[in-house]
Amino acid sequence: MSRATRIFVLAVSALVLLYAGLGFALARSNEENTYRSLGVFSEVLERVEQGYVEEPNMRQVARGAMHGLVESLDAQSGYLSAREYEDYQARLKAHPRGDIGVVLSKRFGYLLVLTALPDSPAQKAGLSTGDILETIAGFSTREMSIRQAELLLEGEPGSTVKITEVRHGGTESHDLEVTRAALATPRLVADKMEDDVGYLRVHGFSPGRAAEIRQKLQEFSRQGLHKVVLDLRDCSSGAVSEAVSTANLFLNSGTITTLSGKTVPAKLFTADAQKTVWTGPVTVLLSARTAGAAEILAAALAEDRAVPTVGERTFGSASEQSIIALEDGGALILTTALYHDPEGKKINDNGVKPSFEMANVVDDMAESTETSGGAESGRATNGLPRPQDDPVLKKALELLRTPSQVPAASKAA
């Protein structure tokens, strides 16, 4: 084995050992398995260098190996080379004020759009759920972390970013040039739906959202409304703290969520009866694009209060990441803690399974409710979805009309 390859093996071995130290207990059997894997890895590298059809670029091989090692853990983890980390830090310090407005994820190595925010440049450019981003600003996304991609999409309002995308279900690439903008916080949609039912549509848990929801629930009570539909479909962004505070508006006791990891002390979030403002019946609407903070809220209501959930199994993405600097100037973006539902199950593993599973057949769920309504849009003139066009919403309203299926108080009380 050449000197360059030996150096490379040592560098990657150090990374593997760091991963092993974070991800495995240092029992003897695990130590043996780790070193056995390193031996195999070293052999593979030697075979590549000696037997590949032409002289391999071992630096490129090294980067690919480290990217693959970390990205095999989960969608949020990633590896940054020294150059990538330097660029990452520079972009963080720039504090850009513009963005295109997408929530990203990774599946099977591909960087894809989870949702495009309402009225965002991304939505106006035609980006939608399931679209694969092949390049951003001329850089391939093949080994790009989600956070790197997010920073590349950010910039000064009015500036543009070039994207190559493959539409969901398609095979051909398309080039887009999207103009960044200072994104407005998607408004909370709140109104009377029918009889004594109030409707809340949450697009994201931006700062202050829980206080806004509290105010709307209090207004519903003053208006004589006694039931609520909480629509969390396509809600995939925002702060967990806002979702936890929102859960407490509906719960007077019980566990909301738990955050824990091998190197992170367990943190328990529980409901406080003094913060509860709504004790009436509730149903929650979910989609396959519901993720993160919204999943934590949905799981808490479903399990602590037995609130019926209607729609599709959620995406499954509720975790915290840490940046770990490496000696060579690179860094790891590593998932170090996971959020669990009140029963202790990891939300990342299976998402939130609705109690009434139904496909969301309304194609414009991600569109802004601030656009004009009417028969063509499937919305009433006040911007609310119409039950006759929305089977998931229709089912939720049917459940609210059947009091025995929708508990009016926390089962943990």
pLDDT in tens, 26-55: 344 455 665 566 677 677 777 887 888 888
pLDDT band at 3 (very low <50, low <70, confident <90, very high): low
CA 310 to chain centroid, in Å, comes to 20
Buried b (16+ CB within 10 A) or exposed e, 228-258: bbbbbbbbbbbbbebbbbbbbbbbbebbbbb
Closest CA to 305 of 323, 284, 324, 321: 284
Query: Do residues 286 and 352 make contact, with C-beta atoms less than 8 angstroms apart?
Result: yes
Output the CA angle 114-119-125, nearest 5 degrees.
Answer: 70
Q: pTM, whole model, 2 decimals?
A: 0.84
Q: Output the average pLDDT for the chain.
A: 85
Output the CA angle 38-44-47, nearest 5 degrees.
Answer: 145
Query: Do residues 288 and 278 make contact, with C-beta atoms less than 8 angstroms apart?
Result: no
Report pLDDT digits (tens) over 303-312.
999 999 999 9
> What pLDDT shows up at residue 289?
95
User: Which residue is associated with the tokens 């780790």?
Assistant: 34
- Measured between alpha carbons, how far is 9 from 22 in angstroms, rounded to an integer? 20
> What pLDDT shows up at residue 266?
94
